[in-house]
Structure 1
Amino acid sequence: MDQAYKARKEAFVSDHLGGSIGEINLVTLVASTATILWAALQSRLSFFTPYGPAALLVDFLLNVCAILFATTLYSPSPLLLNILLVSPAILLVLSSKSRGPQKAKPPRQAEKNATQGNLDPFPVHPFLTTYRAAMMVATCSAILAVDFPVFPRRFAKVENWGTSLMDLGVGSFVFSAGLVSARSVLKGQLVKDHKSSLIQRLTASIRHSIPLLVLGLVRLYSVKGLDYAEHVTEYGVHWNFFFTLGLLPPFVEIFHSLYSIIRPYELLALLAATAYQVALESTDLKAYILVSPRGPDLLSKNREGVFSFIGYLAIFLAGRGTGLRIIPRGTSKTVTPQQARWGVLRSLAILALGWSVLFLFNSTAAFGYGAKINVSRRLANMPYVLWISAFNNAQIFLFCLTETIFFPSAHKATDKETARERSGFATSRIMVAFNKNGLPIFLLANLLTGAVNLTFNTLDANTWQAMAILTGYVAVITGITLALDASGVRLRL
């Protein structure tokens, strides 16, 4: 890469101050309003059943392009895009009645006679599928869009202090991974395997980590070998996000050993974040990470990645705590499906409110009682952990509420076949595909991002050139994602 152009690229993604949390919330709300319109079309018109070319196109426009447009063309007016998405949904709801797959044929006798015992105790919830997929779509679109001027600089990662859309995306990626990890904990508890030794769990977690660490090494050597532009203060000279993801599982297992003593996981997350913040404030650690010279030793060269890992570990633990509360079906002889679902909504609302209050008192003056600590993704400090936890619980709440309103029968099935049918009816085909293959999609997005940057001058692209490339890029990713799903490939992150 030409050295002058490389310097321009590095400057283009450096020294940013971020934007307001209010604007970030409006931009990310597009994923929820797009889902509302999708749900209205499906529940009122069965628009995506059968899934033909028109359904595929509308699905792509709503669940992929809407998120891309929110961060590019509509970045000056995200509220307008939200209104454009939710208005037709309201009209559909007011002018038509709800439909569902179960109405197309009479109820099965097996469904009438079945009990809750033959259902998966930890089902794949449509709202969680949509949440994880929307996060993946936003991540994939942003990692290339950030290299174009059409993507506002306030959405790019901040240098030291502040909040931005991409900072939110990195933390949400980790939170989502933690949420999904709760499934293995729940299954272990179900088979009474939660007392397996720490060594056994560490061995299993290391096996899970090896592919991610290898990918981190591949990315490291690729970036250095191709002389690719890089933002050193993001993670350090050698560290990258794959190393953070790869090292999380073993450390989480160490904290899992404390779970029998200190519950819930949210408390473990708070303890880790608090201890780290105390170290930042009471020692020279903050200055060491932010302003000290990069010495010859590996720790100094990669200090951002090494120490921010503590914050990401806290985020992962917070995500696992949420997963333990909302993944189980929750029904029993005394708890109806409706009661179980309202319990999930109540838990998410309480978590979102609780994390938000903690964030308010940690990052602002809060009526004279707050700590006024600035958010820092580079440090992954305590207010950053609280912000990520509050946002993700609120986001999941919105997706869960949408599913509950538009597809009330999705969580009420009494046999596996009906549950699968209703879940499929309530979930976008594209979102299912993105959720199933998080790791290969993330890799593909990184590879395509590198290819575009090595072959095209993104810095000088006008709006229409940028949008043509970005739309083609997300279309290719979506097409390959659907092909992977159709072929049965399934590699979760």
Structure 2
Amino acid sequence: MAADATSYKQLKEDFVSNLSGGSISEINYVTAVGTVALILWSVLQSRQSFFKPYKPLSFLVDLFLNVLGPLLAITLYSNTPLLLCGLVLVPAIFVYALPPNPVGAKKKKPKLPPAAQAQNKSSSALSILSTKPFLTTYRGSLMVLTCLAILAVDFRIFPRRFAKVETWGTSLMDLGVGSFVFSAGIVAARPLLKDRAEGRTAPLFQRLLYSMRHSFPLLILGVVRLISVKGLDYAEHVTEYGVHWNFFFTLGFLPPFVAICQSILEVIPSYAFLAVVLGIAHQAILETTSLKAFILTAPRTDLFSMNREGICSFVGYLAIFLAGQDMGMFVLPRNIKPTQNSNNASQRTTLLIRMSAWTGACTVLYFFATNFKFGPGLDVSRRLANFPYVLWVAAFNSAQLLIFCFVETRFFPAFYNSTDSKTEQEAYSAATSTVLRAYNRNGLALFLLANLMTGLVNMTVPTLDVGPVVGMGILVGYATILTAIAVALDAWNLSIKL
């Protein structure tokens, strides 16, 4: 029995090792399913008020579009993602062609309790920073796809080209890791913008203390994951981060280094420029020294060499975080360039243009970095977190934000045209999927729960031996339970801060 367990563990490790990934175009097609599903959701909501009020049928449709749709894209429709896009887009066109029926808008709004009325009166003015629907949608959809992939990768129905590559290449899960960091960088811009609006700058020591408060829980989670993986003899891919390092350690060490980088901004003009400088410097060191050979081939003789992938790739992830932070600096504020004659529509147009320019710049830089004719012809490596990987992650996430922002602008103009906080909050609620909002609200807690559920499934089910029907049944059940918990926490107004 022990020998069988050992051989099965080896099979599991081999199942996720020595992979070369797939094409970026296919990754774009697969992730496009979530975008098309959002378009259908937006058409149903804006034209028919389908999700207002939110009933059990609303939840089921929301679940199918924003969770099970992406699940189908990475499993049953992995070879034909454009077909799935078409199957979702056809009903969107049909519903859009129907006469609008905004039932929810005609219903009398419930009277707010006196306390809420008083709060609305006292806080009716719009704040400098707003919680934007497209940003919630972006972060929620990223969390959904992340939670789906960490379990689906253990089943044969999940294509090996979507799993993390060994060293060189691109894959869906490699993109997910970097996107998680980029998304965290966007949110990290909020306290900086608040300080800037209040005209204050915290000293370095205070910033480090503040950052450690965010780092400590993540580092604890990293230790817990390390102990549990080793204690349960869980299958692990050592070349992913190293023997002891894991993704929580990478996330945990980012805040203090970002706090230090804020001092560098007195010399360097922007976070984006600093991200590019770090990425180029990291790539130059990889190419001109023995660091690349050390990371890829050195024997694991001490603590540093045992965890060389996680430690040496940290600079690349720091660059991705800073790139996300730069995006947050102009995505989060209500107005990018407030002028006397500007209005809400022109501000939104300016935002779309700025995001388009950002996306285009990252895409062009990626093209030159990876092209043999016009550039150095570098290969993407998530294991090294090299410069092409940084550019790929930044370009993809910028494009995702741009598309989601465009969809929101087209279908829900009431949000950015709001004149007071109460109207804006109502417009935000109408323009945001309850499922995606719930995933965004308690993202890290749900990610932890997803990891626990993934571990439970792997310890109780021989995932490599089950067929497509059983595998899909497990994945659909897992996704439904996780989503139901997320929506319940949101309905109970519970935010679990870690």
- TM-score norm. by structure 2 comes to 0.94
CA distance in 1, matches of 2:412, 2:491: 25
Q: Give unmatched runs, 5+ long, in structure 2.
A: 110-116
Are 1:474 and 2:479 counterparts? yes
Q: 1:287-329: CA deviations, max 9, x gaps? A: 000011111x111000000011110000000000001011111
Q: 1:184-237: CA deviations, max 9, x gaps? A: 1101111122x2110000011011100000000000000000000000000000
Counterparts of residues 315-330 of structure 1 (less than 5 Å): 315-330=320-335
How many positions carry a matched residue from both structures? 484
Aligned counterpart for 1:201 among listed residues 207, 222, 226 = 207
Are 1:356 and 2:363 counterparts? yes
Are 1:299 and 2:304 counterparts? yes
Aligned counterpart for 1:283 among listed residues 260, 266, 289 = 289
SS at 1:409 equivalent: helix
Q: CA deviation at 1:95?
A: 2.7
Which region of structure 1 is more displaced relative to structure 2, 145-154 or 257-266? 257-266
* Equivalence for 1:46: 49
* Equivalence for 1:35: 38
* Equivalence for 1:312: 317
Are 1:240 and 2:243 counterparts? no
- Cα RMSD over matched residues? 1.8
Aligned counterpart for 2:460 among listed residues 455, 459, 462 = 455
* Equivalence for 1:144: 151
CA distance in 1, matches of 2:427, 2:208: 38
The 8 Å contact of residues 52 and 104 in structure 2, kept in 1 or not, is answered as no
* Equivalence for 1:416: 421
* Equivalence for 2:393: 388
| Cα distance change on mapping 1:58 and 1:438 into 2, 3 Å | same
The 8 Å contact of residues 49 and 101 in structure 2, kept in 1 or not, is answered as no
Are 1:11 and 2:32 counterparts? no
* Equivalence for 2:446: 441
2:347 alignment partner AA:
A
* Equivalence for 1:181: 188
SS at 2:447 equivalent: helix
Which region of structure 1 is more displaced relative to structure 2, 95-104 or 448-457? 95-104
CA distance in 1, matches of 2:459, 2:218: 24
Are 1:169 and 2:168 counterparts? no
Q: 1:44-75: CA deviations, max 9, x gaps? A: 11000111111010000001000111000110
Q: CA deviation at 1:370?
A: 1.2
CA distance in 2, matches of 1:98, 1:321: 40
SS at 1:410 equivalent: helix
| Cα distance change on mapping 1:345 and 1:38 into 2, 3 Å | same
Q: CA deviation at 1:486?
A: 2.1
1:471 alignment partner AA:
V
1:166 alignment partner AA:
M
The 8 Å contact of residues 102 and 422 in structure 1, kept in 2 or not, is answered as no
CA distance in 2, matches of 1:437, 1:125: 17
| Cα distance change on mapping 1:489 and 1:291 into 2, 3 Å | same
Are 1:224 and 2:227 counterparts? no
The 8 Å contact of residues 178 and 318 in structure 1, kept in 2 or not, is answered as yes
1:382 alignment partner AA:
F
Q: CA deviation at 1:261?
A: 2.1
SS at 1:257 equivalent: helix
SS at 1:362 equivalent: helix
Q: CA deviation at 1:117?
A: 8.5
Q: CA deviation at 1:389?
A: 0.1
The 8 Å contact of residues 184 and 324 in structure 2, kept in 1 or not, is answered as yes
CA distance in 2, matches of 1:362, 1:117: 49
CA distance in 2, matches of 1:347, 1:163: 27
| Cα distance change on mapping 1:269 and 1:51 into 2, 3 Å | same
CA distance in 2, matches of 1:266, 1:394: 16
Aligned counterpart for 2:131 among listed residues 124, 134, 139 = 124
1:55 alignment partner AA:
S
CA distance in 2, matches of 1:23, 1:162: 13
* Equivalence for 1:85: 88
CA distance in 2, matches of 1:476, 1:105: 34
CA distance in 1, matches of 2:339, 2:127: 13
* Equivalence for 1:347: 354
Are 1:191 and 2:201 counterparts? no
Q: CA deviation at 1:371?
A: 1.1
Calculate percent identity across the aligned residue pairs.
53
CA distance in 1, matches of 2:210, 2:387: 29
The 8 Å contact of residues 174 and 382 in structure 2, kept in 1 or not, is answered as yes
Q: CA deviation at 1:343?
A: 1.2
2:435 alignment partner AA:
I
Aligned counterpart for 1:258 among listed residues 245, 258, 264 = 264
